């Protein structure tokens, strides 16, 4: 049986070769890379962002730009760093002009995320921002509990997955604190809760 690294590498290879992706031509035109994910594939916590930004597409690494600096600070706030968790995005290539991912983009890339979840088997899935929140809540039949991120950030929804009970925790996107620094304490509070749930 293949180990987690081999299974994740297979996803990387498939995405790299995904000429049928709605964002493949854009990737080639800009000479950038898809962003698959990084961190500890045995971690209990998986963070799911929206899609790579410019810096991420240039380097092939998730959250390595301004939002990533905020994410690092939030992890440090709870005594963790990015090596302790697994970080990925719903959409693996950068949408042009930083537009929101289209439903076509999401339909194309979500099956890769679904496979990453099955391989990593996180006990906590923390979504970063409203787009991955919506996808994950829909995937785990949580739409009856769905609301704006302003209302349900920091909530914990327990669901049954194919491998165990999983806690779904919707969080604000780290970029929220770039646009509005006064939100940082709120983001820190949500991360403290994540830390408590991780130690349960």
**Inter-axis angle of helices 103-120 and 130-139, to 10 degrees?**
60
* Shortest Å, Cβ 143 to ligand URA: 22
Binding segment (CB under 6 A) for ligand URA, from list 25-33, 61-69, 159-167, 188-196: 61-69
Number of C-beta neighbours around residue 120 at 10 A: 23
Q: Binding of ligand URA at residue 67 (CB under 6 A)?
A: yes
Q: Binding of ligand URA at residue 22 (CB under 6 A)?
A: no
Give residues 108-147 in contact with ligand URA (rule: CB under 6 A).
Answer: 128-129
Binding segment (CB under 6 A) for ligand URA, from list 44-52, 95-103, 145-153, 179-187: 44-52
CA–CA distance, 200 with 198 (Å, rounded to integer): 6
Q: Which of 33, 47, 63, 108 binds ligand URA (CB under 6 A)?
A: 63
Core vs surface per residue 30-62: b (16+ CB within 10 A) or e: eebbbbbbbbebebbbbbbbbbbbebbbbebbb
């Amino acid at each position: 049986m293949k180990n987690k690294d081999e299974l994740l590498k297979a996803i990387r290879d498939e995405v790299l070769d995904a000429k049928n992706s709605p964002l493949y031509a854009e990737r080639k035109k800009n000479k950038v890379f898809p962003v698959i994910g990084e961190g500890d594939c045995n971690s209990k916590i998986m963070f799911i962002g929206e899609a790579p930004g410019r810096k991420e597409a240039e380097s092939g690494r998730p959250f390595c730009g301004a939002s990533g600096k905020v994410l690092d600070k939030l992890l440090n706030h709870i005594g963790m760093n990015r090596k302790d968790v697994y970080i990925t995005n719903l959409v693996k290539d950068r949408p042009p002009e930083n537009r929101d991912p289209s439903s076509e983009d999401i339909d194309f890339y979500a099956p890769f995320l679904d496979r990453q979840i099955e391989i990593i088997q996180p006990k906590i899935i923390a979504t970063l921002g409203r787009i991955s929140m919506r996808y994950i809540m829909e995937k785990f039949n949580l739409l009856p509990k769905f609301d704006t991120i302003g209302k349900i950030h920091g909530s914990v929804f327990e669901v049954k997955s194919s491998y165990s009970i999983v806690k779904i925790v919707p969080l604000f996107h780290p970029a929220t604190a770039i646009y509005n620094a006064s939100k940082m304490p709120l983001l820190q509070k949500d991360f403290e809760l994540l830390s408590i749930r991780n130690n349960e």
